[in-house]
Amino acid sequence: MNNLLVDIGNSSMKYSFAHSLRLGTIGHYSGQGVLNHLIEAIAQKRVESIAISSVRNFPKGYFAPLKKFSKSLILVEEELNMPHLANYRSPETLGADRVMGTLAAIALFPKRDLILFDFGTALTVDLIDFERHFVGGNISPGFDSRFEILHSSTGLLPRVTGGDSLKPYGTSTQEAIENGVALSLLYEVEGYLREYPTHLPIFTGGDAIYFAKKMKSTIFVVYNLVLMGLAHLAIDYANKK
């Protein structure tokens, strides 16, 4: 079974032509012409399903032109009747990336209490119990977003990015921002780990490695977790037909 899996985040898109659960080469795109790029990528190909997770607000029917390239077009926001969301009070408000990330985590680590950290534009923290149910989670600004907020919300603080090394405190304004932002996220994550010591921690997202290297405890880093969740969704969708 060959499927096209598409993960559209706030700042970029990742996609992969997958055979069953095995992801192929990961494609990346950061422009505004998402639909045209996907049409070019899939031209002259035929896939069983196209599964799309998006956190952006595209117009209704935006992806409809992709239907001619596959037997099924699956949009996560329309497929929320999933067993692992049964105990969550408002699944329709969940971001598609969180839904797919938790679905993949459950498949990878069954019968475990899990805590999933997705380091992207936002930091999302999601809890899953050993009965494979999504319990809930929290959202706060991500690594780069915190730098941007400091710069855009003040008159004098410069726009900086994260440094490779951390110090207890900065001896310049740039170091103070670098350390303050990175440590704020690090302490936030460590606080969750202290609160949920029996949960297996999983890091994913663009800044996962940066923070995993700075943790004292053992962390599982899983790349392309949303795409993996989409792979499971496409297979489950085909089996139900």
For residues 167-180, average pLDDT: 91
Amino acid residing at 57: N
pLDDT over 80 (residue 128): yes
The pLDDT mean for the chain works out to: 93
Six-digit token pair at 3? Answer: 């499927």
pLDDT value of residue 124: 96
Burial of 159 (0-12, 13-18, 19+ CB in 10 A): exposed
Please tell us whether the domain made up of 83-226 is placed in CATH 3.30.420.40.
Answer: yes
pLDDT at residue 220, as a whole number? 95
The span from the CA of 200 to the CA of 46, in Å, is: 39
Question: Which of the pair, 1 or 109, is modelled with greater confidence?
Answer: 109
**Arch. (CATH architecture) of 2-79:** 2-Layer Sandwich (3.30)
- What are the pLDDT digits (tens) for 209-223? 999 999 988 899 999
pTM, full prediction: 0.92
Rg (alpha carbons) of the chain, rounded to whole number = 19
Which member of 97, 118, 126, 207 is catalytic?
97
**pLDDT score recorded for residue 239:** 83
pLDDT of residue 80: 86
- Cβ 147 vs Cβ 162: under 8 Å: yes
* Interval 186-200 mean pLDDT: 96
pLDDT at 1: 67
Residues 6+ apart with CB under 8 A from 107: 228, 229, 232
The reported pLDDT for the residue numbered 46 is 81
Where does CATH 3.30.420.40 sit in the chain?
2-79, 83-226
User: HEC states along 166-193?
Assistant: CCCCCCCHHHHHHHHHHHHHHHHHHHHH
The predicted-structure confidence for 6-57, as pLDDT tens digits, reads as follows 999 988 999 999 999 999 999 999 999 999 999 999 987 889 999 999 999 9
Alpha-carbon distance of 66 to 44, in angstroms, equals 12
Question: Distance from CA of residue 107 to its chain's centroid?
Answer: 16
In this prediction, residues 161-185 reach a mean pLDDT of: 89
**Active-site residue, 97 included:** yes
Ranking 52-56, 86-90, 176-180 by mean pLDDT, the lowest is 86-90
**Predicted confidence (pLDDT) at residue 113 exceeds the cutoff of 80:** yes
Please report, for residues 5, 24, 97, 118, 205, the alpha-carbon distance to residue 20 in angstroms, rounded to integers and kept in the order given: 11, 10, 20, 24, 22
Host H or E run for residue 26: strand 26-29
Q: How far apart are CA 181 and CA 175, in angstroms?
A: 10
**Cα 112 from Cα 120, distance rounded (Å):** 24
